[in-house]
Structure 1
Amino acid sequence: MTAPTDTPARLASREITTGEELGSVERAGPDRVASAARRAAAAAPGWAAVPAERRAAIVERAAGLLEERTGRAQDLLVREGGAIPGKAYFEVLLAAQELRHGARLARDPGAPHPGSDDPSRKAEVTRVPLGVVGVIVPWNFPLLLGARSLGPALALGNAVLLKPDPHTPLSGGSLFAEVFAEAGLPPGVLEVVHGDAETGAAVVRAPDVAMVSFTGSTEAGREIGAACGRLLKRAVLELGGQNAFVVLDDADVEQAAGAGSWGSFLHQGQICMSARRHLVHHSIAGDYAAALARHAAALRVGDPYRSDAQIGPIVDRRQLHGIAAAVEHAVAQGARLLTGGRPDGPYYPPTVLAGVTERMDIFHTEVFGPVATVTAFTDDADAVRLANTSDHGLTAAVYTGDTARGTALGRRLRCGVTHIGDQTVVQDAALPFGGIGASGNGYGFGGQAALEAFTRWRTLTTSSPPRTYPF
């Protein structure tokens, strides 16, 4: 694996598995970021004045153009990001869906706000764009996670300053610039800047940026949230997850293990929503762990661009070494390694650790890779307690044949999104999505949450004739 080329002027996109250069983009330092932000700010008022129907039509046109480029986008996601083709294909479709959802919000912003309590004062209460939205997206789902901010932000009248991850500059940045320009977005409304953490920090600091939408690690999210707080900017933060997949004693073990395998190992477990902790009723925990290990061992590991691999490469060496170290430490603390656990080149095989307890570090620390831990619980109350023993609170799932029981348990889980009869990796543009605690500040994406995140209230009152006052 080769890290992106570090040169003063250019940033190279490289295939993870071979190091082959796929293209390059201009690297943006702080001055260039500030200039791009000023251009976006200059374009924002004119764009906000465009009728909502026309803005929505441009965003929808971009969605269609993205779908027309599915083959090219899919190849970029596979080669830049290490995705398997199936994941990449659906990411393109989901990204287009996110853009169209943003267009729908512009056309139908919801019920009007109630008027003033004073019948003699006419009140106009509307939601208006914020101005310039800074969007910082990670490498694991660059199209999808970019689109879920770009769609509503642009359709609702904002300009956007987009910074993709340096691992995925083409699929996460250049492709968006291309389709939106062809769709008819006016110049300056979408500015793309490329670079590393320094570039991201410049996006956050830029005076013309009114809001930052960030998806990434909890560590980086804390820094961005603190900076936005000092600068009195709105921040939408979707961060890491130590997500619980709860398997009740009435579940079909093989079906549950299949769902758990998908939740843990899709895209090498490099998803914020991945099932990290499999909490399983003690009566079936042994059978479940064995079944999960069989599913994991059967997955094909290799180059997803040149083979039928189901598990592709880890994004870089640093991430690979971190996964390996976490597994070794868990085994040293008493976890049982059932399968996997040994890196091979840029690949880390699907790994199952059984006998994991809440006293082990891996139970509490997110391992951003294909590692599933299995922990037994005694009853529903114990399952809830274990699931809630985490600073994170992004997603959770309860696998059971008893919907009522699963729903009752799910409502007690401390997280932003819970799925009953499913696994943790579920995406729906129409539903609010956001984590709490170390997983984020709890709002910003999906459904009406996006409308609330990317606009603000504006109140205008009219008194006619003008009011008079005694002094």
Structure 2
Amino acid sequence: MNNAASLLAPETWSEKLFDGTWRQATGTIAVHEPATGEVLGLVGLSDPASLGAIAERAMRAQAAWADTPAEERATIMRRAADLFEQERDQLIGMIMRETGGVRGKAETELAGTIGELIHSAALLIAPEGQILAHPDRSKLSFARRVPLGLVGVITPWNFPMLLAMRSVAPAVALGNAVILKPDPQTPIVGGAVIARIFEEAGVPPGVFSVVNGGADVGEALITTPETRLITFTGSTTVGRRVGELSGLHLKKVGLELGGKSPFIVLDDADLEAAASAGAWGSFLHQGQICMASGRHIVHRKVLDDYLEILSRKARQLKVGNPLLSTDIAIGPIINAKQLARVDEIVRNSVAAGANLVTGGTFEGPFYHPTVLSNVNPQVPAYHLEIFGPVAPVVAAEDEDDAIRIANDTEYGLSSAIQTGSLERGLKLARRIKAGMVHINDQTISDLPGIPFGGMGQSGNGSRFGSTTNWEEFTQWQWMTAGGEPARYPF
């Protein structure tokens, strides 16, 4: 870590927890760099029993924060965005080291984080409610959006800063308090950095807190009575548990879960462009993205040519520690357990009949970009979310077969279609069961101003971004007002 004095100096947050002030923790979590195993720093470990007190402090702070004028809240959000920009160089390096991402990934994550803050400030220019009809013309009837109160945010390790800010920024801007639990593998850029910048930007003490730990801390956050909404980004398996606990305690819950996003290549596609997009969709950030292109569904007429181009691109990608060379495209897998899982899926898929076109090997934490052909429903890579740099290729006989294969999954997050005919692409897009469809592009895309979310087992219908943030992070209150007191026959 950079030990130079700065806004983000480790001595501010090292071995500490943040609940509006930095407090010394009784335990710590060591944060390791995936590429080297080096310890990057120590963050404070939370005690699940402490969640009640943190939530109570948050609720006391939230009442005053909700009464703060909207323009003042927006100013603080914009100030936080400026601080992220001011710390750009240091933050890019921190993201690269803690997540194992290449520089372009880190730059994209930081830009998205800043974008979420700017968009959260813009939310506050929207009307807070609407005037309603009432049979008594002497009464004023209206509905308004009010904060939920306290929001719990649980985030993953792959894009920890951005995926935290996607919930944190609109929740705070709209008058809620937030308790964030980052993944214990990425609690610096995913938690401590955000706390430090919010503190400097002027978010009042108690409005934003960070807790660190594993499943026990997450479950305590969910079951703490004060939290009224839990947003979770992560695997479908864990998401089911989050949904189960949230439902048991009558919490609103927003789940953004796994994916097996189809990437369809039709027989009229520009194959060089399609293979470029397909390689990006499967190999970006080592495939450790929920929207990654999980199956390349290729029209049989162009299958051989597409495989040749895609495998050539895979072999050209350099693998290694992104901090050591600017031409590294594939960095480390996040941990040894995930590396072993990726390798097991590839080996089991080959044993089940898939062909290993290229890749399938690793050195240390670095897994080489891999292309599998002859992938079918009997092959593990057909169904499983791999979360590694693997491109499973499935042959489709025609358009109908391509759509059948695309929808042959429990997931429904993202999708893409490569075709020389926009009309053809639009017709097919309407038939794909996914929350997002991209024609002549790849499957990975997220902007602050769009309603992000999936269908099926990729989520529960919740959406992040755009005006949907009002629906997620506030609730309706109906109010009537009359000039004269109402009189009744009782």
- How high is the TM-score relative to the length of structure 1? 0.96
Structure 1 match to 2:466:
447
Count of aligned pairs between the two proteins: 466
Are the counterparts in 2 of residues 106 and 152 from structure 1 also a CA contact under 8 Å?
no
Are the counterparts in 2 of residues 56 and 107 from structure 1 also a CA contact under 8 Å?
no
In the alignment, residue 354 of structure 1 is paired with which amino acid?
S
CA distance in 1 between counterparts of 2:66 and 2:290 reads 33
Per-residue deviation, 1:119: 3.1
Structure 1 match to 2:287:
269
SS in 2 for 1:179: helix
Residue in structure 2 matching 1:129, options 129, 147, 152: 147
Q: Report 1:224-303 matches (<5 A).
A: 224-303=242-321
Structure 1 match to 2:215:
197
Structure 2 match to 1:460:
479
| 72-81 vs 236-245, greater mean Cα deviation | 72-81
Structure 2 match to 1:54:
72
SS in 2 for 1:284: helix
CA distance in 1 between counterparts of 2:281 and 2:78 reads 31
| Pairwise CA RMSD | 1.5
Per-residue deviation, 1:114: 3.8
CA distance in 1 between counterparts of 2:359 and 2:482 reads 72
CA distance in 2 between counterparts of 1:403 and 1:103 reads 36
In the alignment, residue 187 of structure 2 is paired with which amino acid?
P
| 266-275 vs 101-110, greater mean Cα deviation | 101-110
Structure 2 match to 1:379:
398
1:63 aligns with 2:116: no
Are the counterparts in 2 of residues 358 and 386 from structure 1 also a CA contact under 8 Å?
no
Structure 1 match to 2:452:
433
CA distance in 2 between counterparts of 1:101 and 1:248 reads 36
Per-residue deviation, 1:19: 2.0
1:350 aligns with 2:365: no
CA distance in 2 between counterparts of 1:411 and 1:117 reads 42
SS in 2 for 1:461: strand
| 176-185 vs 440-449, greater mean Cα deviation | 440-449
CA distance in 2 between counterparts of 1:282 and 1:116 reads 62
Per-residue deviation, 1:444: 2.6
How big is each residue's C-alpha offset from its partner over 1:14-62, in whole Å with a ceiling of 9 and x where there is no partner? 2112222222111002122222222111111110000111101101110
Structure 1 match to 2:335:
316
CA distance in 1 between counterparts of 2:269 and 2:129 reads 42
Are the counterparts in 1 of residues 148 and 474 from structure 2 also a CA contact under 8 Å?
yes
SS in 2 for 1:112: strand
Are the counterparts in 1 of residues 414 and 437 from structure 2 also a CA contact under 8 Å?
yes
In the alignment, residue 484 of structure 2 is paired with which amino acid?
P
Structure 2 match to 1:96:
114
Per-residue deviation, 1:453: 0.2
CA distance in 2 between counterparts of 1:88 and 1:213 reads 23
Structure 2 match to 1:85:
103
CA distance in 2 between counterparts of 1:282 and 1:237 reads 36
CA distance in 1 between counterparts of 2:142 and 2:377 reads 54
After superposition, the Cα gap between the structure-2 partners of 1:18 and 1:89, relative to the gap in structure 1 and judged at 3 Å, is: same
- How high is the TM-score relative to the length of structure 2? 0.93
Are the counterparts in 2 of residues 109 and 451 from structure 1 also a CA contact under 8 Å?
no
CA distance in 1 between counterparts of 2:383 and 2:35 reads 31
Per-residue deviation, 1:180: 0.7
Q: Report 1:146-165 matches (<5 A).
A: 146-165=164-183
Per-residue deviation, 1:111: 7.0
In the alignment, residue 239 of structure 2 is paired with which amino acid?
G
In the alignment, residue 406 of structure 1 is paired with which amino acid?
G
CA distance in 2 between counterparts of 1:340 and 1:297 reads 8
Q: Point out where structure 1 has 5 or more consecutive residues left out of the alignment.
A: none
CA distance in 2 between counterparts of 1:37 and 1:300 reads 47
CA distance in 2 between counterparts of 1:415 and 1:306 reads 38
CA distance in 2 between counterparts of 1:116 and 1:404 reads 47
In the alignment, residue 413 of structure 1 is paired with which amino acid?
I
SS in 2 for 1:433: coil
After superposition, the Cα gap between the structure-2 partners of 1:229 and 1:346, relative to the gap in structure 1 and judged at 3 Å, is: same
Runs of 4+ in structure 1 over 4 Å off = none
After superposition, the Cα gap between the structure-2 partners of 1:378 and 1:49, relative to the gap in structure 1 and judged at 3 Å, is: same
CA distance in 2 between counterparts of 1:30 and 1:443 reads 27
How big is each residue's C-alpha offset from its partner over 1:341-374, in whole Å with a ceiling of 9 and x where there is no partner? 1121111111110111123232111111111111
Are the counterparts in 1 of residues 426 and 439 from structure 2 also a CA contact under 8 Å?
yes
